[in-house]
Amino acid sequence: MEKLKPRRSIYYPDFIAANQSDRADNVIPGSDKWAHVQHIRDDIRDFKNKHNLDKVTQMQKLPFCRKSRECGCFLSERKLGKCLLGFVPK
């Protein structure tokens, strides 16, 4: 796994513990949240096409939807994308 490098991610200081800012060194620049969503979606599409895959499963350690209890994100995988897109301003 030494050769593998994760794709860049999103870092919002108000969402992640303050003591993690020094370690956040592989991030998508900028503050436009919709541009960040588009970047991640493009990365997933690129990976899927590059490896000729039918599906891609994203695994995360932490939930990305702070309002998951309100929108039910944690209950349904199908609702997860709609929830994310619904909370990110375009």
Pair 1, 24 in one domain = yes
Report the C-alpha gap between 30 and 32 in whole angstroms: 6
Domain total of the chain: 2
Report the C-alpha gap between 13 and 45 in whole angstroms: 27
8 closest CA partner among 24, 21, 19: 24
Pair 29, 72 in one domain = no
Q: What does the pLDDT look like over 1-14, one tens digit per residue?
A: 788 788 888 888 87
Residue type, 13: P
Pair 70, 29 in one domain = no
DSSP 4: -
Pair 17, 52 in one domain = yes
Pair 46, 68 in one domain = no
Q: What is the domain extent for residue 45?
A: 1-59
Q: Where does 1-90 have alpha helices with state H? A: 33-50, 68-71, 77-87
DSSP 7: P
pLDDT at site 75: 44
Give the global pTM.
0.66
Q: What does the pLDDT look like over 21-76, one tens digit per residue?
A: 888 888 999 989 889 989 988 998 999 999 999 988 776 555 555 555 555 555 45
